[in-house]
Amino acid sequence: MQDAGRIELARTVKEQQDEITAITERNRTLEEILSEYSKEEEEADNGVIDPSSPIENGRLRMYFFYKLGFLDKSVWNDGLTYGQMGKILQKILGGNPIKADTAERDIKLFNATGSAKLKDFEAKNEDKVLNYLKGICPDMDFPNGRFVNDIRKNTGRSG
């Protein structure tokens, strides 16, 4: 009777050891995946945008439009609403992945001069924009804080 109990106990111990080994391997795999994801997030947080690939973040793309002066309400037809501007920009962006209502919200955000939300977004993304533009056109100077004003000055608009 004791031998049967020992055999059963040994089988249970072996099953638990196998389960521990499988869980350990799964945790190792998950740690590798998490490490790779964390590395990608860290690169994104450092303002690294590969100039040879498209910008996937829709709001960041709208920010580029803003920095280039395309979201300035004064450059659009007076009769266009924010919604219509959003639809036009959504089509220019290929309709994917930004939606018209998202584009409309972003246009309103980027036309809200002096808003805390806009200032916060600019503080977090200004370097990304400048570094990206410098990556595309390394022979041009894109001074911080003067880029849009210089464009507007050259087109006869005041910034």
Residue 152 backbone phi and psi in degrees, to 5: -65, -40
pLDDT tens digits for range 4-51: 888 999 999 999 999 999 999 888 888 888 777 666 655 555 556 677
Angle between helix 58-67 and helix 116-136 axes, rounded to 10 deg: 80
Beta-carbon neighbour count of residue 146 at 10 Å? 12
Most confident listed range (32-46, 84-98, 103-117): 103-117
**Which H, E and C letters describe 86-136, residue by residue?**
HHHHHHHCCCCCCCHHHHHHHHHHHHCCCCHHHHHHHHHHHHHHHHHHHHH
User: Average of pLDDT values for 51-67?
Assistant: 75
* Bond before 97 cis per omega within 30 degrees: yes
| pTM confidence score | 0.48
> What's the token pair of residue 29?
């795999």
